[in-house]
Chain A
Amino acid sequence: MGMTITEKILAAHAGKDQVEPGELIHAKLDIVLANDVTAPVSIKELEKINLEKVFDKEKVVLVQDHFVPAKDIKSAEQGKIVRDFARKHDITHHYDVGEMGIEHCLLPEKGLVVPGDTVIGADSHTCTYGALGAFATGVGSTDLAAGIALGEAWFKVPESIKFEYDGELPEDVTGKDLILHTIGDIGVDGALYQSMEFTGSAIDALSMDGRMTMANMAIEAGAKNGIIAPDKTTLAYVDERAQRPYKVYKSDEDAKYNRHIKYNVEDLEPVVAFPHLPENTRPVSEAGNVEIDQVVIGSCTNGRIEDLRLAAKVMQGKKVHKNVRCIIFPGTQAIYKQAIREGIIETFIDSGCAVSTPTCGPCLGGHMGILAKGERSLATTNRNFVGRMGHPESEVYLCAPHVAAASAVAGRIVHPREVE
């Protein structure tokens, strides 16, 4: 019987020829990832059992990205726990202030994750690496601690849903719009416990940055992972960066899916998710008159170079509306530097934006752009839950970078053509 790409990767890592949905397996891990918020909980657990040695110091990746540069004394203490652990165990891939980036932008860029890998990360957006044709899923700190100690994790093999995006993408529709449209269609638990496999001519035409945005938000539909089979676009990206040999897996023709959902992308337009769930989507033309106080462009979802280019193109020569604070978060130092080289950062500053060092920052209501009671933010981030970016009575709207940039200029949510 045929297998999906997810089943093939899991089978290979469990030492089996075949696996089936529902089967419980123990899989070997290629990368085990944590950040400055989740690693301290794992480290506390590992200290309780007096861990002498991590399973492989090359395969444990620690990125200090959430509350850094430290936002307060308590965060500084959490950050120090991670630094001390990284030094004690001589962790090769420990990224701190000055060289770190937002973890899910950083790992692919550095070639730390490659096609065919099995990855767990104590961060729900670990599913981003599915864009490289890897099986990657978010876990909690205890699973992560077990991964650091043993280099393996238990999984229930997920059922798969095949998403097929047909047609040619309209010029104003991005990967973010495709994934928001999908979540709006199936709901925030529409893929609960399952694998979302993204296919079709529109995916083939999408850049790696756009694919990573899509896989990143699989968790917002409840999925275990999102995945895209490697093609020439993937391999061109990976070959420049891979630090290890990799293996390309693809789904068999006769692989079993529990659903097959098709979209014609030619009818789509940019999408906005209204508070307080990513499934509350509307085409931007139906957004109505929503005035905004803040715009956030960045995050593990949309902090890559193509995202910044898209926003800068809209903002070029225009000013951010006087009632709006627009904050830009490049995903990594390399992306930041590239944006400087291309004049993108200058465009943002000339337009009246604030540009920050890479950090998860306001996406999770951490720091660098917290909302007051009653304020509204439009953001290229991934979640718009109650209180996500600050006060429980503030609001977050989600969109793609060009819509965010145009809305920053207009002072309300608009289609980019309205500020042309």
Chain B
Amino acid sequence: MEFTGKVWKFGKDIDTDAIIPARYLNTTSPEELAKHCMEDADPTFPQKVQKGDIIVADKNFGCGSSREHAPIAIKASGVPCVVAKSFARIFFRNSINIGLPIFECPEAVEGIREGDVISVDADQGVIFNQTTGQSYNVTPLPESMQKLIRDGGLMAYVKNRLEEQK
């Protein structure tokens, strides 16, 4: 897995209410949710985000509510992955489960500015900032989680298990 895109940078403790406010939780449509992605952190984000852009954030990204609508909104906005200093635990699980790759790398977050173009090589565990020429090592996800993403998320696993049970 490798992703290259322009960076939108966010601060610390971005909560899931900021990622997708509860006033939009009366739908589960990814396209509808994407229209309001990050709205309470940056109201102009849904208009300006382009397919392939990458979100880079400070610590504790995705804290608060368990709403899976948050990573769904990000993924449906065309953002292929998120890099942060750390992630809140339910957001972390949800992202893996729906197949949104996420990377914890405090050094990269320090060195990346908004508008930089970065490449994230998930297999090699390297984040390369094309704008500054800096590169950063990122701890890869545990093998079991990488497998979950490769296999198409948790539901693919569930489907296999149910077929085994028959």
The chain A residues found within 8 Å of chain B, CB to CB, are 24, 37-38, 40-41, 44-45, 48-49, 51, 66-67, 71-72, 74-75, 77-78, 121-124, 126, 138-143, 145-146, 149-150, 154, 188-189, 192-193, 219, 222, 224, 277, 364-366, 383, 385-388, 392
Which one, B40, B66, B69, B155, contacts A145 given CB within 8 A? B155
Which one, A146, A365, A386, contacts B158 given CB within 8 A? A146
Contact in complex: B66, A122 (CB < 8 Å): yes
Which one, B41, B59, B65, contacts A364 given CB within 8 A? B65
The docked-state distance in angstroms from the alpha carbon of A224 to that of B88 is: 10
Q: Across chains A and B, which 8 residue pairs bring their CB atoms closest together, nearest first?
A: A140-B94, A74-B26, A140-B68, A142-B97, A189-B60, A124-B66, A387-B40, A364-B22
A140: B residues at CB distance < 8 A: 66-68, 71, 90, 93-94, 97-98
Distance between A51 CB and nearest chain B CB, rounded to angstroms: 7
Contact in complex: B158, A38 (CB < 8 Å): no
Contact in complex: B162, A188 (CB < 8 Å): no
Distance between A225 CB and nearest chain B CB, rounded to angstroms: 10
The docked-state distance in angstroms from the alpha carbon of A188 to that of B158 is: 33
Contact in complex: B88, A38 (CB < 8 Å): no
The docked-state distance in angstroms from the alpha carbon of A217 to that of B23 is: 22
- Chain B residues 37 to 88 lying within 8 A of chain A, measured CB to CB, are 39-41, 43, 59-60, 63-69, 71-72, 86, 88
The docked-state distance in angstroms from the alpha carbon of A51 to that of B155 is: 11
Stretch in contact with the other chain, from B2-10, B11-19, B111-119, B133-141: B11-19
B161: A residues at CB distance < 8 A: 149-150
The docked-state distance in angstroms from the alpha carbon of A339 to that of B26 is: 31
The docked-state distance in angstroms from the alpha carbon of A77 to that of B25 is: 12
Contact in complex: A224, B89 (CB < 8 Å): yes
Contact in complex: B93, A143 (CB < 8 Å): yes
Contacts A122-B66, A149-B162, A383-B15 known; list 5 others, CB within 8 Å.
Answer: A37-B67, A49-B158, A149-B158, A386-B17, A392-B43
Query: What are 25 inter-chain pairs, A to B, with CB distance below 8 A?
Result: A37-B67, A40-B28, A71-B26, A74-B26, A78-B28, A123-B65, A124-B65, A140-B67, A140-B93, A140-B94, A140-B98, A141-B68, A145-B154, A145-B155, A146-B155, A188-B63, A219-B64, A222-B63, A222-B88, A224-B89, A365-B22, A383-B64, A385-B64, A387-B18, A392-B21
Contact in complex: A385, B18 (CB < 8 Å): yes
Residue of B nearest to A221 (CB): B63
Which one, B39, B86, B153, contacts A142 given CB within 8 A? B153
The docked-state distance in angstroms from the alpha carbon of A140 to that of B91 is: 8
The docked-state distance in angstroms from the alpha carbon of A40 to that of B27 is: 9
Contact in complex: A142, B98 (CB < 8 Å): yes
Answer whether A386 and B18 are a contact pair too, CB < 8 Å, given A140-B68, A142-B97: yes
The docked-state distance in angstroms from the alpha carbon of A141 to that of B90 is: 10
B93: A residues at CB distance < 8 A: 139-140, 143
Answer whether A138 and B66 are a contact pair too, CB < 8 Å, given A49-B158, A387-B18: yes
Which one, B25, B40, B90, contacts A139 given CB within 8 A? B90
Does B159 touch A at the CB level, under 8 Å?
A: yes
Which one, A78, A149, A224, contacts B26 given CB within 8 A? A78
A188: B residues at CB distance < 8 A: 13, 60, 63
The docked-state distance in angstroms from the alpha carbon of A184 to that of B72 is: 31
Which one, B13, B23, B66, B159, contacts A49 given CB within 8 A? B159
The docked-state distance in angstroms from the alpha carbon of A154 to that of B145 is: 11
A387: B residues at CB distance < 8 A: 17-18, 21, 40
Residue in A51, A71, A387 whose Cβ sees the most chain B Cβ within 10 Å: A387
Contact in complex: A124, B157 (CB < 8 Å): no
Distance between A211 CB and nearest chain B CB, rounded to angstroms: 22
The docked-state distance in angstroms from the alpha carbon of A188 to that of B63 is: 8
Residue of B nearest to A158 (CB): B89
Residue of B nearest to A45 (CB): B155
Distance between B34 CB and nearest chain A CB, rounded to angstroms: 15
A67: B residues at CB distance < 8 A: 25-26
Contact in complex: B158, A192 (CB < 8 Å): no
Contact in complex: B66, A146 (CB < 8 Å): no
The docked-state distance in angstroms from the alpha carbon of A68 to that of B86 is: 35
Distance between A218 CB and nearest chain B CB, rounded to angstroms: 11
The docked-state distance in angstroms from the alpha carbon of A138 to that of B64 is: 10
Answer whether A38 and B18 are a contact pair too, CB < 8 Å, given A124-B90, A192-B88: no
Contact in complex: B155, A38 (CB < 8 Å): no
